[in-house]
Chains A and B, each alone.
Chain A
Amino acid sequence: MGLIAYDVNKYTPRQMMMIPMVILILSLAILGYNMATTGMPVRPGIDFSGGTAVTLFTTDTPGQLEQKFQGYPLLSVGEGVNNGKYLKFGPMDDASLQALAALINAEYPDAKIDQIGASFGKTLQEQALLALIISFIGMAIVVFLAFRTLVPAVAVIFCAFTDIAMTAAGMGLVGIELSLPTVAALLMLIGYSVDSDILLTMRVLKRQGKLEEKLSGAFQTGIIMTTTTLAAVAAMWIIAFVGQITVIWEIATVLLIGLVLDMMNTWLTNAGIIKWYVLKRGGK
């Protein structure tokens, strides 16, 4: 595999973990800053904050659309290819909502409308957070039961946490909001993340042979695993982007960011910790 010229054995554990740790600290700083200023680590979409999202296909310019909907709490107009437009409205009362729906139906009969009430959004937000926490704890338990040794298990769990924290910070940077689909993608990431970590740990701890060989063997397999997943997700991302399928596009973007970061976290952070652990035990 010649795509990535990285020698997993070249650096010391300390050197390996340096870059991921700096990025992790930056990510946590971004999330913390968001949390302090907005109350949420990632900007919530209408699923969680309440509001109305409209997808329609029209040659009208954003300016024209703003004019058309000036009586309503229009927050933003997004543009895609194929004349796709995404309108986001803030929360409004039922009468305005009905009027808005009627207006959209009359002007753009092929529009997709989704509306979430503010209190419903809050319930969804609480449940999504709960799902994330339970998933993470569940994953941690499985990993502990699988390895039954402290350092390797903690390393895998730490990597999953790092993946999610960095991806969440990355979402903020590229402007993806926290929504039901993106929460699902983050949960998915827990699964993807531990995949290569478990491969690495199993290979290094349970196989016979030299540490260097086991590490580079695991690296070869692990990279091809992540690249195939990446290929599937990238294809999904491109089609969803061109075809304007927001839900799939958002999921794909989060997975893309997460998978790239996962490569770094697995082969720098986790590999660094496991190398340090084996060397400290005096293993070869």
Chain B
Amino acid sequence: MSDSKLVACLKHWQVALMILLLVASAIAIGPRFEDGKFTTNLQYGLDLQEGTWLQMEFKAEVVGFETDRSVEDFVADLQKQLDAEIYLIDENKLEIRSYYPEETLRTIFSAAGGRLTSYEQGVSRDTADDVKRILENKLNALGTKDARVNPLTGISGVSHYIRVELAGVSLSQAKEIVGTQGKFEIRIHTTGNQTEHVLYGDTITTVGVPSHEPPGSPVWGVSFTLSDEGARKFQEGAIATGAVSAPDAHYLDMVLDGNVVYSAPLSGDLAAKLAVEPIRQLYASTGTGAAGLEAAKNLEIHLRAGALPVDVTVAGSGYVPAALSDYFRMMCVIAFVAAAIAVGVVIYYRYREPSIVFPMIGTNLTEIVILLGIATLIQQLDLAAIAALIAVMGTGIDQLVIITDEILHEGKVPSPTLYKKRLARALGIILVSAFTVIIAMIPLALMDLSSLRGFALITIIGVVIGVAITRPAYGEIIKEILSK
């Protein structure tokens, strides 16, 4: 291509934009040698990186109900029948944090003077977020790098599963990390900085969600209950340390794995009661406003000592060893190069004209580089995403063929007006087929079908880049090249 044609190409904003994005993407991908090894900024998902995934199912359900009785009475009745924590999450929706089959609940609801109107296994979005937060806290505390926790929430807002991906961790290690609890302890200050052990977390029987106490006040806090033994220890400790008689001089510390997570004096009211009898129902206040609520949420997690508010079972799991993931990564590169060469051969066979074939392949590869550049920001690459990448290359070249054939109708380059008309028509065809691909992939991108999300996202982004940027640019390039 002569210099003047090159300049003419660059004057089209489509071409300039494409080249700009190509350069930006190359920078984003950042291929380089580090310690003699070739690295990039591409993020790899499991399959292309050693690690474990665990998909866990919540042993809880969100149910709709109807009752003529007052909601409080009704829920109180249910509470007696079911050995589970029950929360009202909506006017007519309950979250039951223990697993019961639909039929069992239907019977119990009828007996309590109501009716079960819907049943879905899982937890509310808020609870799922709590679980995510607890798991992330735990993983961070253990220094696990590169952990991902994602609740899979359906269209109804109920999360049935939560997926955990841990890079560089084996399956048994992962299960251990997710399953183990921290060590929780309550200590009371004696003199100076000295504290004395009162009880361990195993005597805490239930932990509530953040609430106002007394109801209606602006103060946030978390209520929790102790077992009889715990309540007795708590009373003994409070009396022995002198906290009952002088609460402000003897702060109470909550300690998780050696770190103080909460420290406050007993309230005067509680101190007076403890002097007389053991108290099982306790409440720790954390302050007012958003800060108080945030502190209450964290305290709830600490009180549970890393135990999840809802039981989970492992619904699916998998492990990819390092040797295999390295191998997969290498094979993906080979598959990609082979596909690119195959496409080049077919295109050359059809057009036999280097001035068409090279821009075509060049545009196609540019599309892939821009796609990878965007992927560094939003999507990890796994095997399914690589397959999508190769498929994008396939559709990309298809559409360049449409443009070329449409413009080169009868083998001649048309006049500028005719050219415009033909390019518009070619882009029309491309637009319709691009829309169908996008529409076909949207369900996969929105649904949480584990690994297929990457496949769908890469396909959609690839098609959008093609339609919006690279294919119009190719139209301009081919015109400049072929015009005499």
Query: How far in angstroms is the closest Cβ of chain A from B450?
Result: 7
Contacts of A202 in B (CB 8 A): 425, 428-429, 432
- Residue B307 at the chain A interface, CB threshold 8 Å: no
Docked pose: A134 CA to B335 CA in angstroms:
31
Contacts of A231 in B (CB 8 A): 339, 342-343, 345-346
Docked pose: A109 CA to B437 CA in angstroms:
41
Interface size class of A (residues with CB under 8 A): 35 or more
B449 touches A232 (CB 8 A): no
Query: How far in angstroms is the closest Cβ of chain B from A213?
Result: 10
Query: Given A117-B57, A247-B387, A110 and B324 touching (CB < 8 A)?
Result: yes
B440 touches A239 (CB 8 A): no
Docked pose: A183 CA to B444 CA in angstroms:
10
- Residue A248 at the chain B interface, CB threshold 8 Å: yes
Which segment of A8-16, A30-38, A192-200 sits at the interface? A192-200
A228 touches B343 (CB 8 A): yes
Which segment of B33-41, B371-379, B392-400 sits at the interface? B392-400
- Residue B328 at the chain A interface, CB threshold 8 Å: yes
Query: Given A146-B432, A191-B436, A236 and B335 touching (CB < 8 A)?
Result: yes
Which parts of B407-452 form the interface with A (CB within 8 Å)? Answer: 409, 425, 428-429, 432-433, 435-437, 439-444, 447-452
A116 touches B425 (CB 8 A): no
- Residue B455 at the chain A interface, CB threshold 8 Å: yes
- Residue A18 at the chain B interface, CB threshold 8 Å: no
Which parts of B321-371 form the interface with A (CB within 8 Å)? Answer: 321, 323-324, 327-328, 331-332, 334-335, 338-343, 345-347, 350
B395 touches A229 (CB 8 A): yes
A116 touches B383 (CB 8 A): no
Q: Which residue of B lies closest to A113 (CB)?
A: B319
Contacts of A116 in B (CB 8 A): 315-316
Contacts of B428 in A (CB 8 A): 202
Contact with B along A230-245 (1 / 0, CB 8 A): 0111111011100101
| Highest count of chain B CB atoms <10 Å: which of A116, A124, A207 | A124
| Highest count of chain B CB atoms <10 Å: which of A113, A123, A131 | A131
Docked pose: A248 CA to B160 CA in angstroms:
29
Docked pose: A134 CA to B439 CA in angstroms:
9
B398 touches A225 (CB 8 A): yes
Interface class of chain A by DSSP: helix
- Residue A130 at the chain B interface, CB threshold 8 Å: yes
Docked pose: A252 CA to B451 CA in angstroms:
17
Q: Which residue of B lies closest to A117 (CB)?
A: B315
Docked pose: A237 CA to B68 CA in angstroms:
63
Docked pose: A194 CA to B346 CA in angstroms:
21
Q: Which residue of A lies closest to B441 (CB)?
A: A187
A243 touches B334 (CB 8 A): yes
Query: Given A134-B443, A243-B335, A113 and B318 touching (CB < 8 A)?
Result: yes
- Residue A95 at the chain B interface, CB threshold 8 Å: no
B437 touches A191 (CB 8 A): yes
- Residue A264 at the chain B interface, CB threshold 8 Å: no
Query: Given A127-B449, A184-B452, A251-B387, A112 and B321 touching (CB < 8 A)?
Result: yes
A180 touches B449 (CB 8 A): yes
Contacts of B172 in A (CB 8 A): 98, 101-102, 105
Contact with B along A153-191 (1 / 0, CB 8 A): 000000000000000000000000000110111011011
Which one of B338, B451, B455 contacts A238 once the chains associate, using CB atoms below 8 Å? B338
- Residue A83 at the chain B interface, CB threshold 8 Å: no
Q: Which residue of A lies closest to B338 (CB)?
A: A235
Contacts of B394 in A (CB 8 A): 192, 228-229, 232-233
Query: Given A194-B433, A199-B429, A130 and B447 touching (CB < 8 A)?
Result: yes
Contacts of B55 in A (CB 8 A): 120
- Residue A128 at the chain B interface, CB threshold 8 Å: yes
Contact with B along A123-140 (1 / 0, CB 8 A): 110011011001110110
- Residue B229 at the chain A interface, CB threshold 8 Å: no
Contacts of B341 in A (CB 8 A): 235
Q: Which residue of B lies closest to A139 (CB)?
A: B436
Docked pose: A227 CA to B432 CA in angstroms:
21
Query: How far in angstroms is the closest Cβ of chain B from A37?
Result: 27
Docked pose: A240 CA to B332 CA in angstroms:
8
A232 touches B393 (CB 8 A): yes
- Residue A27 at the chain B interface, CB threshold 8 Å: no
- Residue B401 at the chain A interface, CB threshold 8 Å: yes
- Residue B161 at the chain A interface, CB threshold 8 Å: yes
A236 touches B338 (CB 8 A): yes
Docked pose: A191 CA to B313 CA in angstroms:
38
B319 touches A225 (CB 8 A): no
Query: How far in angstroms is the closest Cβ of chain A from B429?
Result: 5
Q: Supply 11 A–B pairs (Cβ within 8 Å), ascending by A.
A: A109-B321, A112-B320, A115-B318, A116-B315, A117-B313, A119-B315, A131-B447, A227-B346, A228-B343, A232-B391, A238-B338
The 8 closest A-B CB pairs, nearest first, are A191-B437, A138-B439, A120-B315, A114-B318, A229-B394, A231-B342, A239-B335, A131-B443
Query: Which residues of A approach B to under 8 Å, CB–CB?
Result: 1, 55, 94, 98, 101-102, 105, 109-117, 119-120, 123-124, 127-128, 130-131, 134-136, 138-139, 141-143, 146, 180-181, 183-185, 187-188, 190-192, 194-195, 198-199, 202, 206-207, 217, 220-221, 224-229, 231-236, 238-240, 243, 245, 247-248, 251-252, 255
Beyond A128-B449, A181-B451, A248-B386, 10 additional pairs, beta carbon < 8 A: A101-B172, A105-B170, A131-B449, A146-B435, A181-B452, A187-B444, A228-B398, A231-B346, A233-B394, A236-B335
